[in-house]
Amino acid sequence: TKYIVPAGCPHVNGFKVDNWKQNLRVIYQCFVWSGSVESRKRKAKSCICHLCGAHLNRLHSCLYCVFFGCFTKKHIHEHAKNKRHNLAIDLLYGGIYCFVCQDYIYDKDMEQIAKEEQRKTLRSALVDCFVSCGLCDAGVGEKYSTWEPTKRELELLRHNPKRRRITTNCTIGLRGLINLGNTCFMNCIVQALTHTPLLRDFFLSDRHKCEMQSNSCLVCEMSQLFQEFYSGHRSPHIPFRLLHLVWTHARHLAGYEQQDAHEFLIAALDVLHRHCKDDNGKKANNPNNCSCIIDQIFTGGLQSDVTCQVCHGVSTTIDPFWDISLDLPGSSTPFWPLSPGGDGSTLNGESHLSGATTLTDCLRRFTRPEHLGSSAKIKCSGCHSYQESTKQLTMKKLPIVACFHLKRFEHSAKLRRKITTYVSFPLELDMTPFMASSKESRMNGQYQQSVDVFNNDNKYSLFAVVNHQGTLESGHYTTFIRQHKDQWFKCDDAIITKASIKDVLDSEGYLLFYHKQFLEYE
């Protein structure tokens, strides 16, 4: 078969003389694919129509001389006709227009130059972006380049031709964990962490650069654990190395006694943070000023405003947090009845028809102003004396993963007990009412819900729930995890079973893990 290749624009040859390639590269670098901040500023200042001074109207640049003209108002057409400069480049998309052919043209050599320069600009822009937001410090954006397999990787790919296709019914990532003797508290947290999307992406892309002895680094063990979970093996995994490292680095958890899953979560995050944190002194965009992957994902900023009752001066502090511990009705701590009652109203998708306490109620109580009383006076910087005050907590910065700890275990001098109060929690949660920025729009402690349905910055989706069954002295931990959008599974040590959304939402709830629905570049 003989294929007929359409002829290209014959007028291009008049441009292809002397250093035309270098000249074209300069135009793409400076005026089309502007990657650096300096080049963008230069483009904004210089790229205006030489006839009307406009930035817009499909601005084109002459390829033969330094002239910018509007395509819409035909100013570039006038220049081409007067100067007989037949070719111009679109400064927004990089296409080349021929005024004789009266159309955008394709030339293989020019197209290759355009792609090369666009690729260079994209690479440098991504590196700048990663540097500015601190991701390079965690190894996430280091020397951005497209992945090219090494000789060793090519060899492995040749000998392992089988590929795993991820589908909606795929169970890869689901794997049971053997209980090594009252270690369900560890297993349930491991299940939640291995199904945390960004943490999974970090470890499966081999981002951890270890500077410790590999047999003592908890991050290396977590990396290996992720490999085990997503290898496709179905047999339960035995996490003996993880348990040994936990005992080594968090000695208060050593032994075969039943431990608190929440305490293990905080200890695990602390050790992971210490083992992979960046020591070069660069600040990151979270309250810990640390760019390690743990702080990037889990750290938020809690704002505390203490207001003097005399001069109404406000003292503000912001503290980092990995989780939010919420009081429950039935505890010895006074709980304000905030539920609207049986009026059928909903907030954050939680119904009050049954009169049950909701997660939103708990968050309202957590962020409600509290009078500190005469026994807890503070020295006011305005009054220069000790005065009574009110304290209010709000969210200054939300983490990517928000973990809520429902305080079901009460330990005091008088009693030790478990609080079994049912708390309803939603599949989707909007944290906007509890932000420091929403504080001004509150009235009498109640947030007036916004009608802006397009504001998704503070919206979260549930992806893991840790539950505790039994009493304070004898109990067992299990986890519900979300595999895909609407597929949930119950992880009970070595046993993984399919669960319904109703099973998840009807469960008691001890630790609730929510993931931000939208991630913004900063």
Question: By the 8 A CB rule, do 22 and 116 touch?
Answer: no
Which has the minimum average pLDDT: 11-15, 67-71, 132-136, 309-313?
Answer: 132-136
Residue 351: predicted pLDDT: 53
Q: Out of 70, 184, 188, 491, which one is annotated catalytic?
A: 184
* Low-confidence winner among 180-184, 461-465, 516-520 (lowest mean pLDDT): 516-520
The model's confidence at residue 455, banded by pLDDT at 50, 70 and 90, is: low
Mean of per-residue pLDDT scores for the chain: 80
Q: Which residue has the higher pLDDT, 7 or 383?
A: 383
User: Is 466 buried (19+), middle (13-18) or exposed (0-12) by CB count in 10 A?
Assistant: buried
Euclidean distance between CA atoms 130 and 519, whole angstroms: 14
**Averaged pLDDT, 409-418:** 76
Q: pLDDT at position 128, please?
A: 55
Let me know if 494 is exposed, middle or buried by CB neighbors in 10 A (0-12, 13-18, 19+).
middle
> DSSP string spanning 249-281?
H-GGG-SSS---HHHHHHHHHHHHHHHH---S-
Rounded average pLDDT over 201-209: 80
Q: Decide if pLDDT at 78 tops 90.
A: yes
Q: Which of 7-21, 60-74, 252-266, 271-285 has the lowest mean pLDDT?
A: 271-285
Angle among Cα 488, 490, 494 to the nearest 5 degrees reads 135
Mean pLDDT of 351-366: 79
Mean pLDDT of 98-123: 87
Taking CA atoms, 301 is separated from 144, 171, 271, 288, 518, in Å, by 30, 35, 20, 9, 18
Check whether 142 has a pLDDT greater than 50: no
Nearest to 289 by CA among 195, 297, 281: 281
Q: What is the pLDDT of residue 208?
A: 73
Token pair, residue 370, equals: 């509290």
Q: Annotated catalytic, 476?
A: yes
Q: Quick one: angle between helices 20-27 and 108-133, nearest 10?
A: 40
Report strand pairing: 370-371 vs 428-430. unpaired
Dmax (CA) for the chain in angstroms is: 96
The answer to whether residue 380 is catalytic is no
The answer to whether the CB of 5 falls within 8 A of the CB of 77 is: no
One-character DSSP codes across 357-419: EEHHHHHHHHTS-EE--GGG-EEETTTTEEE-EEEEEEEEE--SEEEEEE--EEE-SS-EEE-
Mean pLDDT in residue range 443-472: 72
C-alpha to C-alpha distance for 309 and 294, rounded to whole angstroms? 39
Rounded to whole angstroms, the Cα distance separating 90 from 79 reads: 15
Average pLDDT over residues 191-211: 85
pLDDT-derived band of residue 8, with 50, 70 and 90 as boundaries? Answer: confident
* Contact indicator for 257, 182 with CB cutoff of 8 Å: yes
pLDDT of residue 321: 92
Evaluate if residue 234 carries a pLDDT over 70. Answer: yes
Residue 255 has pLDDT above 80, yes or no: no
User: What pLDDT is attached to residue 6?
Assistant: 53
- In three-state secondary structure terms, 53 is coil
How many CA atoms within 13 Å lie on the side-chain side of 132?
10
434 is written with which tokens?
A: 């509890």
3-class DSSP assignment, residue 483: strand
Are 46 and 32 spatial neighbours (Cβ–Cβ below 8 Å)? Answer: no
Q: What is the pLDDT of residue 280?
A: 41
Q: Tell me, what amino acid is at 52? A: C
Active-site hit among 50, 77, 208, 476: 476
Task: Report the relative pairing of strands 401-406 and 324-326 from DSSP bridges.
Answer: parallel
According to DSSP, residue 286 is labeled S
